[in-house]
Homo-oligomer: A and B are copies of this chain.
């Protein structure tokens, strides 16, 4: 097999394992086993664990950009597009209840490890923040857009954290509905202010 394809298989497997088991708790042997490679051969593709982490973060940044671009095309209005973001809590509910939010949990783990890649992991959060900010600007939020974006992002993070701790589907549904209602209220308020 070509080195390029093998490398990508490794990164995909590492991405999944880092999410489900955590970065520190996932060994080279785990990843090598998942792609059916010997540990020796593994080092031909990646020399250090930090190199794999960098590649995984790159992959997540790219996947996030693609997802955000998809929502931008899918939603007819800023409200509809922001609702796409909110709904990932429902769409990924089972995985979130089991393993938490992939973005938030990696950031938190790297913070505890005091890892050099900590800032790059937070860049995934920044992609969401900037995308949401642009949508709130399109809604006419002006200077307020950044604050509204962080509020929605934080709200969804908190919902994911408690979904993981309590495994309460009703809670998740209720918070998502609350977010959508809040979003509609903000849209009305901003529309009034614009007149």
Contact = CB atoms under 8 A, between A and B. Distances in A.
Contact of A111 (B111, B125, B164, B174): B164
Contacts of A125: 162, 165-166
Interface string A118-141: 000010011001000000000000
Contacts of A159: 154, 158
Nearest to A21: B112
A113 interface: yes
A175 interface: yes
A35 B164 CA distance: 33
Q: Which of A108, A122, A158, A174 has the most B CB atoms < 10 Å from its CB?
A: A158
A162 B112 CA distance: 15
A153 B113 CA distance: 26
A151 B175 CA distance: 7
Contacts of A108: 100, 104-105, 108, 161, 164
A147 interface: yes
Contact of A154 (B21, B22, B109, B175): B175
Contacts of A178: 151
A20 B175 contact: no
Grouping DSSP codes into helix (H, G, I), strand (E, B) and loop, the A interface class, with mixed when no group exceeds half, is helix
A154 B164 contact: no
A171 interface: yes
A174 B147 contact: yes
Interface string A144-170: 000100110111111101101110100
29 contacts: A20-B112, A22-B109, A22-B112, A25-B112, A100-B111, A104-B108, A104-B161, A104-B165, A107-B161, A107-B164, A107-B165, A111-B164, A122-B165, A125-B162, A147-B171, A150-B166, A150-B168, A153-B158, A153-B162, A154-B158, A154-B159, A154-B161, A154-B162, A154-B171, A154-B175, A155-B155, A155-B158, A157-B158, A161-B161
